[in-house]
Amino acid sequence: MRSKGSPERTGPVALGKLITELAPKARPEPYDLTPGGTGRKRLAADAGMSVWAVGRMLRGETLPRVENLYGLAEALGADEGLLLDTAGYRNRSDHAKRTNKPVLSVANPPTPEAIADSLGITHPFVRKMLISSIIEAVRLQREADQSSDDEPGGTVVAR
């Protein structure tokens, strides 16, 4: 358990503090987040969020959805990675360990497992879902290719 005085590095509180620090420095026009200011309303509109959600985020009560972090980054002129890391949606050490991998050719298509690896999908349940979806998509595509060779305009129905 954290001590009462120790600052949090990731999570709702850390993100709220970061947004509060970045908002007055945003360009072309800073956001005034002080009580009575119009900054929260403008930030909400620019980020595609509700004013209520922005308020809860700034107070460190909740995290916004990932897609809203991209809107916040754009509105604030901030690095998307910084917001994702601060929110705790992405592990900094995992991101730092990744290396650029060579582009795979169509002649040597990647395996579903390699695709999951390249996307950084490590959670067992999510990984299994992704791999099975890829396998099913490939099967359906092969059926579609075969039926289009046999009869023009044929449709494929998932079984």
Give pLDDT tens digits for 46-97: 999 999 999 999 999 999 998 999 999 999 999 999 999 999 887 655 555 5
Give the whole-angstrom CA distance, residue 52 versus residue 17: 17
Give the whole-angstrom CA distance, residue 113 versus residue 119: 10
Token pair belonging to 80: 């998307």
Any idea which residue has 């995992």 for tokens? 94
Give the whole-angstrom CA distance, residue 70 versus residue 72: 5
What are the backbone angles phi and psi of residue 30, rounded to the nearest 5°? -65, 160
User: Ramachandran region of residue 155, left (φ > 0), alpha (ψ -120 to 50) or beta?
Assistant: beta
pTM of the model: 0.54
2-6, 23-27, 127-131: lowest mean pLDDT where?
A: 2-6
Give the whole-angstrom CA distance, residue 77 versus residue 46: 11
Token pair belonging to 158: 């998932």
Amino acid in position 76: L
